[in-house]
Amino acid sequence: MSLETLRPSPAMQDFLPTEYKDLVEHGPYNNRNGKEHQTVKVTDMGKFKEVIEEHPMCAGCAMTLFIRLTYIGMPNPEHTIIVGTAGCGRLAISQASVPFIYGNYGDTNAVASGLKRGLEVRYPNQKKDVIVMAGDGGLIDIGFQGLMHSWFRHEKFTTIMLDNEVYGNTGGQESGMTNQGKVLKMAPRGKFGEKVDALGLAKVAGVDYIARLAPTNPSRVARTVRRAIMVAREVGSSYIQAYTSCNIEYSIPTPDVMKDAFEIEKERYGFEEIISPRAKEYLDEIEKKPKKKKSDK
């Protein structure tokens, strides 16, 4: 909760949790420097209080790195609510200092739709960002109906798919996002069908901002997340599809996780943005850099 929304009595300041005070004084909460959104940068990691610092994820998990960068990219984390569900990602997301709603499996986008509309009624003078962050199984398989219809309705929230291309939390079953022919513990003969073209579905559904990326460029991840959230705030639905490998189910040695990310990015997961004309117009406007004034001679 922002200090602009709820300001504790000065007499009670010393009794606030240290974690919260650090987020306000040395982190992204209210760190504006005259701007509407936070100004902490990926290049300053380690120099400020982050909203997530501990997690129970597997060592070397690329998903955890992406989640950490996502929180840094949020324009206003103190005015943000995450909606998630069963899956590996929720183990880290639930440890962050950002409100998290655990929805039923497959219901994330339906929950987010109602939540976003309710927040608009409850806080008419304060923008609240809603983000769905779930795995490929929770979104493209079991959550497909809710996902697609939220896009058809152009709901103003961001959907982030943590695409590890497998059900990594339940033993290694194939998902719709698993590549054709891939052999897994519970797909011993290899996956029969092709990987679902989720980006194509988002484009057909009229999503205003679509992006695909791997966690190989931290600054680009944070910038992409920020752009997606800003578009969802003012224009319409936004979608990010992130390659976040499961080093356990895919037997990737921990030291080679980032090497794998670079290889997959080069092979089939290159950075791509698809932006609607109205979203592009909006981004061009808010990202304009003020012209430098010529010094008087």
The answer to whether the predicted template modeling score (pTM) of the entire model surpasses 0.85 is yes
Strands (E), 118-176: 129-135, 158-163
Distance CA 79, CA 74 (A): 10
For residues 101 and 115, the answer to whether their CB atoms sit within 8 Å is: yes
Q: pLDDT 10s per residue in the chain (297 long)?
A: 555 556 678 788 788 888 888 888 888 887 665 566 677 889 998 889 999 988 999 999 999 999 999 999 999 999 999 999 999 999 999 999 999 999 999 999 999 999 999 999 999 999 999 999 999 999 999 999 999 999 999 999 999 999 999 999 899 999 999 999 999 998 999 999 999 999 999 999 999 999 999 999 999 999 999 999 999 999 999 999 999 999 999 999 999 999 999 999 999 999 999 999 999 999 999 998 766 666 554
Scanning the chain, the segments in alpha helix (DSSP H) are 18-26, 62-73, 89-93, 108-122, 136, 144-152, 198-204, 218-234, 257-267, 277-286
- Superfamily per CATH, domain 40-284: Thiamin diphosphate (ThDP)-binding fold, Pyr/PP domains (3.40.50.970)
Tell me the torsion sign for CA atoms 254, 256, 257, 260: negative
Per-residue tokens: 283 = 């981004």
- Give the burial string for 174-196 (b: 16+ CB within 10 Å, else e): bbbbbeeeeebeebeeebeeebb
Beta-carbon contacts of residue 158 (< 8 Å; ≥ 6 apart): 129, 130, 131, 132, 225, 228, 229, 232, 237, 238, 239, 240
Would you list the domain boundaries of the chain?
A: 40-284
* 3-state percent helix, strand, coil for the chain, nearest multiple of 5: 40, 15, 45
User: Number of C-alpha atoms within 13 angstroms, CB side, residue 14?
Assistant: 1
- State the burial class of residue 162 (Cβ atoms within 10 Å of its Cβ: 0-12, 13-18, 19+): buried
Place of tokens 């939390």: 169
Q: Coil, helix or strand for 267?
A: helix
